[in-house]
Amino acid sequence: DADVTQTPRNRITKTGKRIMLECSQTKGHDRMYWYRQDPGLGLRLIYYSFDVKDINKGEISDGYSVSRQAQAKFSLSLESAIPNQTALYFCATSDFSGTGQETQYFGPGTRLLVL
Amino acid sequence: GESVGLHLPTLSVQEGDNSIINCAYSNSASDYFIWYKQESGKGPQFIIDIRSNMDKRQGQRVTVLLNKTVKHLSLQIAATQPGDSAVYFCAEGYNNNDMRFGAGTRLTVKP
């Protein structure tokens, strides 16, 4: 979905390096998410943010941090990358309407390889 | 190619046939369900959703069936086309605070 963009699309880094993955959205959504996807597994939630001042840990937040710089921007950092953080990372936004339905819209993903 | 889903269940169908993809969900309190399609090299794409107070919902060429008794969700694709080839996965949500995603099924459509 072109409304949610991620940079970089691919990244190779070395163990111990700090890296940042960036996500921008033009959908005007308050809620943003970071997930990782591993082969044979479902998406797992790393962090989520319901608005600029609200940051919450997800299922697998250890080793990651996030920053919500603006409504449209949500970045994910790996403070000291390790090989088992090699994965496909997705950013998502949602249009929570308060009616009990929340559809998430995903970016194209960032493929990260940690050597 | 895309390495996501190397060990996923697979479904292979002939072009023009109907496809049925199944999903078992875990939380009996889940009240919202979504089916996503993920093509190689792309992010998941919303297909259709259903709330727990419904047992069937139809979209364009797709139908989602929900059986709460056995915690089962299915996606039916009518007249499957080569462009339908992708990984399909379901997501269950509860109280707007927790979405859980299945690993998915890889659908291959043979011409």
Q: What is the largest CA-CA distance in chain A?
A: 44
Read off the pLDDT of residues B13-38 as tens digits, 9 standing for 90 and up: 999 999 999 999 988 888 889 999 99
How close B87 gets to chain A, by Cα (Å)? 11
Which residues are CB-contacts of A59 (< 8 A; sequence separation ≥ 6)?
Answer: A44, A45, A46
Name which of B7, B42, B49 is nearest A101 (Cβ-Cβ).
Answer: B49
Contact criterion met (CB < 8 Å) for A106 and B45: yes
Mutate to test the interface with A, among B87, B99, B105 (most CBs of A within 10 A): B99
Could you say which residues of chain B have pLDDT below 50?
A: 1-6
Q: What percent of chain A has pLDDT over 90?
A: 83
Per-residue pLDDT band at A60 (split at 50, 70, 90): very high
Contact criterion met (CB < 8 Å) for B34 and A103: yes
Contact A101, A82 (CB under 8 A): no
Per-residue pLDDT band at A40 (split at 50, 70, 90): confident
Instruction: State the Cα–Cα distance between residues B84 and B91, nearest whole angstrom.
Output: 19
